[in-house]
Structure 1
Amino acid sequence: MNFILEKSYLDINIKLNKTSIEIEEEEREDMKIDFKELRKKTSGELFDISFWEDKLVIKEKDWSILPMAMSFFNDELETTLVLKIPKNISVEGNIVTVNGDIDINAIKLDGKLKTVNGDIQIGYIQCNTLKIDCISGDTRIEKVNGFIKSKGVSGRFLIEKGHLKGFSHKGVSGDIYINADFELEDDIQINSVSGDIYLNVHSYHNDRHIYITSLSSDTDIKGTFPKDKIHIKKKMPTIKSFPFKDFMPMIKDVFSGFNTYKDDIDGEPNAEKQEPKSEKHQNEVAMILKMVSDGKINIDEAERLIKALK
Structure 2
Amino acid sequence: MTSEQGASASAEDLVKTYGSGDTEVHALRGVTLSFRSGEFTAIMGPSGSGKSTLMHCLAGLDVATSGRVHIGDTDLTGLSDKKMTILRRDRIGFVFQSFNLVPTLTAAENITLPSDIAGRKVDQDWYDTVISRLGIGDRLDHLPSELSGGQQQRVACARALVGRPAIIFGDEPTGNLDSRSSGEVLSILRAATDEFGQTVVIVTHDPRAASYADRVVFLADGKIVRELPRPSADDVFEMMKNLDDLPADDSGSDAGVTADTTAGAELGKHESGSVAPESGSVAPESGSVAPESGSVAPKSGVGRHAADAGSGADSTQAG
Task: Please give the range of the TM-score, normalised by the shorter of the 2 chains.
Answer: under 0.3
Normalised by the length of structure 2, the TM-score is 0.27
Larger RCO: 1 or 2 (CA < 8 Å, sep 6+) = 2
Name which one, 1 or 2, has greater alpha-carbon Rg.
1
Task: Name the structure with the higher strand share.
Answer: 1
TM-score, normalising length: structure 1: 0.27
